[in-house]
Chains A and B, each alone.
Chain A
Protein backbone atom coordinates (compact mmCIF):
# COMPACT_ATOMS: atom_id res chain seq x y z
CA UNK A 1 0.00 0.00 0.00
CA UNK A 2 2.86 2.36 0.81
CA UNK A 3 3.91 2.56 -2.81
CA UNK A 4 0.45 3.25 -4.15
CA UNK A 5 0.76 7.00 -3.75
CA UNK A 6 4.15 7.25 -5.41
CA UNK A 7 4.32 8.56 -8.99
CA UNK A 8 5.66 5.16 -10.08
CA UNK A 9 2.52 3.27 -9.03
CA UNK A 10 0.78 1.41 -11.83
CA UNK A 11 -2.53 1.42 -9.98
CA UNK A 12 -5.29 3.55 -11.42
CA UNK A 13 -6.88 6.23 -9.23
CA UNK A 14 -10.12 4.22 -9.19
CA UNK A 15 -8.28 1.05 -8.17
CA UNK A 16 -6.56 2.94 -5.39
CA UNK A 17 -9.88 4.25 -4.05
CA UNK A 18 -11.48 0.81 -4.16
CA UNK A 19 -8.49 -0.65 -2.35
CA UNK A 20 -9.38 -4.20 -3.29
CA UNK A 21 -6.04 -5.23 -4.75
CA UNK A 22 -5.45 -7.97 -7.31
CA UNK A 23 -7.78 -10.45 -5.61
CA UNK A 24 -10.70 -8.00 -5.97
CA UNK A 25 -11.85 -8.87 -2.46
CA UNK A 26 -9.51 -6.64 -0.46
CA UNK A 27 -9.19 -7.57 3.19
CA UNK A 28 -12.73 -8.96 3.51
CA UNK A 29 -11.58 -12.49 4.43
CA UNK A 30 -9.12 -11.10 6.99
CA UNK A 31 -11.87 -8.99 8.54
CA UNK A 32 -14.51 -11.74 8.52
CA UNK A 33 -12.08 -14.19 10.11
CA UNK A 34 -11.70 -11.79 13.08
CA UNK A 35 -15.39 -10.85 13.15
CA UNK A 36 -16.48 -14.48 13.37
CA UNK A 37 -13.72 -15.17 15.94
CA UNK A 38 -15.09 -12.47 18.26
CA UNK A 39 -18.64 -13.71 17.67
CA UNK A 40 -17.63 -17.25 18.67
CA UNK A 41 -15.80 -16.04 21.77
CA UNK A 42 -19.04 -14.37 22.89
CA UNK A 43 -21.12 -17.44 22.02
CA UNK A 44 -18.73 -20.04 23.40
CA UNK A 45 -19.87 -19.93 27.03
CA UNK A 46 -23.61 -20.23 26.22
CA UNK A 47 -22.86 -23.02 23.70
CA UNK A 48 -20.74 -24.96 26.22
CA UNK A 49 -23.52 -24.51 28.77
CA UNK A 50 -26.12 -25.86 26.31
CA UNK A 51 -24.01 -28.88 25.31
CA UNK A 52 -23.12 -29.72 28.92
CA UNK A 53 -26.76 -29.47 29.98
CA UNK A 54 -27.66 -32.02 27.30
CA UNK A 55 -25.05 -34.62 28.25
CA UNK A 56 -27.50 -36.64 30.32
CA UNK A 57 -30.45 -36.20 27.98
CA UNK A 58 -32.04 -38.81 25.76
CA UNK A 59 -33.20 -37.88 22.26
CA UNK A 60 -36.56 -36.50 23.39
CA UNK A 61 -34.92 -34.23 25.97
CA UNK A 62 -32.20 -33.05 23.62
CA UNK A 63 -34.70 -32.39 20.83
CA UNK A 64 -36.90 -30.37 23.17
CA UNK A 65 -34.03 -28.19 24.45
CA UNK A 66 -32.45 -27.67 21.00
CA UNK A 67 -35.83 -26.59 19.65
CA UNK A 68 -36.28 -23.88 22.28
CA UNK A 69 -36.09 -20.48 20.53
CA UNK A 70 -33.21 -19.01 22.57
CA UNK A 71 -31.13 -22.20 22.40
CA UNK A 72 -31.84 -22.63 18.69
CA UNK A 73 -30.84 -19.02 17.93
CA UNK A 74 -27.60 -19.32 19.93
CA UNK A 75 -26.75 -22.57 18.15
CA UNK A 76 -27.59 -21.09 14.74
CA UNK A 77 -25.40 -18.03 15.37
CA UNK A 78 -22.56 -20.27 16.53
CA UNK A 79 -22.87 -22.55 13.50
CA UNK A 80 -22.93 -19.68 11.00
CA UNK A 81 -19.92 -18.00 12.66
CA UNK A 82 -17.92 -21.21 12.97
CA UNK A 83 -18.56 -22.46 9.43
CA UNK A 84 -17.65 -19.08 7.96
CA UNK A 85 -14.51 -18.98 10.15
CA UNK A 86 -13.41 -22.51 9.29
CA UNK A 87 -14.00 -22.04 5.57
CA UNK A 88 -11.69 -19.01 5.51
CA UNK A 89 -9.17 -20.75 7.77
CA UNK A 90 -9.02 -23.88 5.63
CA UNK A 91 -8.63 -21.77 2.50
CA UNK A 92 -5.57 -20.09 4.07
CA UNK A 93 -4.12 -23.49 4.98
CA UNK A 94 -4.72 -24.80 1.45
CA UNK A 95 -3.13 -21.72 -0.13
CA UNK A 96 -0.12 -22.05 2.16
CA UNK A 97 0.62 -25.73 1.65
CA UNK A 98 -0.89 -26.84 -1.67
CA UNK A 99 1.19 -25.52 -4.52
CA UNK A 100 -0.05 -27.67 -7.39
CA UNK A 101 -2.66 -25.50 -9.12
CA UNK A 102 -5.04 -28.34 -10.00
CA UNK A 103 -4.96 -29.89 -6.54
CA UNK A 104 -5.29 -26.42 -5.01
CA UNK A 105 -8.38 -25.69 -7.11
CA UNK A 106 -9.97 -29.03 -6.23
CA UNK A 107 -9.14 -28.52 -2.54
CA UNK A 108 -10.71 -25.05 -2.49
CA UNK A 109 -13.84 -26.32 -4.24
CA UNK A 110 -13.99 -29.21 -1.77
CA UNK A 111 -13.56 -26.79 1.13
CA UNK A 112 -16.51 -24.72 -0.08
CA UNK A 113 -18.68 -27.80 -0.60
CA UNK A 114 -17.79 -29.28 2.80
CA UNK A 115 -18.42 -25.99 4.62
CA UNK A 116 -21.72 -25.42 2.85
CA UNK A 117 -22.84 -28.98 3.61
CA UNK A 118 -21.90 -28.69 7.31
CA UNK A 119 -23.72 -25.37 7.60
CA UNK A 120 -26.85 -26.45 5.78
CA UNK A 121 -27.12 -29.82 7.54
CA UNK A 122 -26.75 -28.22 10.99
CA UNK A 123 -29.15 -25.38 10.23
CA UNK A 124 -31.68 -27.81 8.77
CA UNK A 125 -31.51 -30.02 11.88
CA UNK A 126 -32.01 -27.10 14.27
CA UNK A 127 -34.86 -25.60 12.25
CA UNK A 128 -36.53 -29.01 12.08
CA UNK A 129 -36.27 -29.35 15.87
CA UNK A 130 -37.53 -25.78 16.30
CA UNK A 131 -40.61 -26.32 14.18
CA UNK A 132 -41.33 -29.61 15.91
CA UNK A 133 -42.06 -31.44 12.68
Chain B
Protein backbone atom coordinates (compact mmCIF):
# COMPACT_ATOMS: atom_id res chain seq x y z
CA UNK B 1 0.00 0.00 0.00
CA UNK B 2 1.25 3.43 -0.91
CA UNK B 3 -0.61 5.22 1.81
CA UNK B 4 2.31 7.08 3.36
CA UNK B 5 2.39 9.47 0.38
CA UNK B 6 -1.34 10.05 0.91
CA UNK B 7 -0.57 10.93 4.53
CA UNK B 8 1.94 13.46 3.28
CA UNK B 9 -0.34 14.83 0.55
CA UNK B 10 -3.26 15.30 2.97
CA UNK B 11 -0.84 17.02 5.36
CA UNK B 12 0.17 19.50 2.66
CA UNK B 13 -3.49 20.04 1.72
CA UNK B 14 -4.38 20.71 5.36
CA UNK B 15 -1.45 23.15 5.57
CA UNK B 16 -3.00 25.37 2.90
CA UNK B 17 -6.51 24.52 4.09
CA UNK B 18 -5.77 26.41 7.31
CA UNK B 19 -6.33 29.54 5.21
CA UNK B 20 -10.03 28.63 5.18
CA UNK B 21 -9.98 28.28 8.99
CA UNK B 22 -8.22 31.64 9.33
CA UNK B 23 -10.65 33.31 6.93
CA UNK B 24 -13.60 31.92 8.91
CA UNK B 25 -12.22 33.08 12.29
CA UNK B 26 -11.22 36.54 11.03
CA UNK B 27 -14.64 36.94 9.41
CA UNK B 28 -16.38 35.97 12.66
CA UNK B 29 -14.28 38.60 14.43
CA UNK B 30 -14.85 41.20 11.71
CA UNK B 31 -18.63 41.30 11.39
CA UNK B 32 -21.75 40.17 9.55
CA UNK B 33 -20.66 41.29 6.06
CA UNK B 34 -17.33 39.45 6.19
CA UNK B 35 -19.05 36.39 7.66
CA UNK B 36 -21.64 36.42 4.88
CA UNK B 37 -18.81 36.21 2.34
CA UNK B 38 -17.47 33.06 4.02
CA UNK B 39 -20.93 31.53 4.16
CA UNK B 40 -21.54 32.37 0.50
CA UNK B 41 -18.30 30.58 -0.37
CA UNK B 42 -18.84 27.52 1.81
CA UNK B 43 -22.41 27.31 0.53
CA UNK B 44 -21.36 27.26 -3.13
CA UNK B 45 -20.67 24.02 -4.99
CA UNK B 46 -16.92 24.62 -5.16
CA UNK B 47 -16.89 25.70 -1.51
CA UNK B 48 -18.69 22.55 -0.45
CA UNK B 49 -16.30 20.39 -2.45
CA UNK B 50 -13.33 22.10 -0.78
CA UNK B 51 -14.93 21.75 2.67
CA UNK B 52 -15.67 18.08 1.99
CA UNK B 53 -12.11 17.52 0.77
CA UNK B 54 -10.78 19.34 3.82
CA UNK B 55 -12.89 17.15 6.13
CA UNK B 56 -11.61 13.99 4.47
CA UNK B 57 -7.99 15.21 4.49
CA UNK B 58 -8.27 16.03 8.21
CA UNK B 59 -9.90 12.75 9.23
CA UNK B 60 -7.73 10.62 6.99
CA UNK B 61 -4.56 12.35 8.20
CA UNK B 62 -5.67 11.78 11.80
CA UNK B 63 -6.46 8.08 11.22
CA UNK B 64 -3.28 7.54 9.24
CA UNK B 65 -1.43 9.46 11.95
CA UNK B 66 -2.69 7.06 14.63
CA UNK B 67 -1.20 4.29 12.47
CA UNK B 68 2.16 6.06 12.53
CA UNK B 69 1.95 6.56 16.31
CA UNK B 70 1.29 2.83 16.71
CA UNK B 71 4.40 2.13 14.64
CA UNK B 72 6.38 4.72 16.66
CA UNK B 73 5.54 2.72 19.78
CA UNK B 74 6.94 -0.39 18.12
CA UNK B 75 3.72 -2.25 17.42
CA UNK B 76 1.97 -3.37 14.25
CA UNK B 77 4.93 -4.32 12.09
CA UNK B 78 3.78 -7.80 11.04
CA UNK B 79 2.58 -7.84 7.41
CA UNK B 80 -0.99 -8.71 8.44
CA UNK B 81 -0.98 -5.95 11.08
CA UNK B 82 0.39 -3.39 8.63
CA UNK B 83 -2.32 -4.29 6.13
CA UNK B 84 -5.01 -4.08 8.80
CA UNK B 85 -3.83 -0.67 10.07
CA UNK B 86 -3.66 0.69 6.55
CA UNK B 87 -7.13 -0.46 5.58
CA UNK B 88 -8.54 0.74 8.92
CA UNK B 89 -7.10 4.22 8.30
CA UNK B 90 -8.39 4.29 4.73
CA UNK B 91 -11.88 3.00 5.46
CA UNK B 92 -12.13 4.86 8.78
CA UNK B 93 -11.15 8.12 7.11
CA UNK B 94 -13.77 7.80 4.36
CA UNK B 95 -16.43 6.41 6.72
CA UNK B 96 -16.09 9.09 9.39
CA UNK B 97 -16.00 11.85 6.76
CA UNK B 98 -19.26 10.67 5.19
CA UNK B 99 -20.81 10.23 8.64
CA UNK B 100 -19.87 13.80 9.65
CA UNK B 101 -21.42 15.19 6.47
CA UNK B 102 -24.59 13.19 6.97
CA UNK B 103 -24.83 14.63 10.51
CA UNK B 104 -24.06 18.12 9.18
CA UNK B 105 -26.90 17.93 6.66
CA UNK B 106 -29.22 16.27 9.21
CA UNK B 107 -28.83 19.16 11.65
CA UNK B 108 -29.51 21.63 8.86
CA UNK B 109 -25.94 22.80 8.32
CA UNK B 110 -26.05 21.98 4.63
CA UNK B 111 -28.30 24.80 3.58
Contact = CB atoms under 8 A, between A and B. Distances in A.
B44 to A, nearest CB: 15
B36 interface: yes
A18 B111 CA distance: 57
Interface stretch (A2-10, A58-66, A100-108): A58-66
Contacts of A34: 69, 72
A79 B34 CA distance: 21
A41 B12 contact: no
Contact of A125 (B12, B28, B111): B28
Contacts of A48: 100
Contacts of A128: 29
B22 interface: yes
Contacts of B108: 55-56
Given A52-B107, A62-B35, A93 B12 contact: yes
A79 B18 CA distance: 9
Given A58-B35, A93-B12, A41 B65 contact: yes
A77 interface: no
Interface residues of A, number: 32
Interface string A91-133: 0010000000000000000000000001001101110110000
Contacts of A41: 62, 65-66
B21 A66 contact: no
B65 to A, nearest CB: 5
A55 B104 contact: yes
A59 B38 CA distance: 10
B65 A90 contact: no
A59 to B, nearest CB: 3
Given A41-B62, A52-B104, A83-B18, A121 B26 contact: yes
B11 interface: yes
Nearest to A86: B15
Contact of A89 (B11, B27, B72, B100): B11
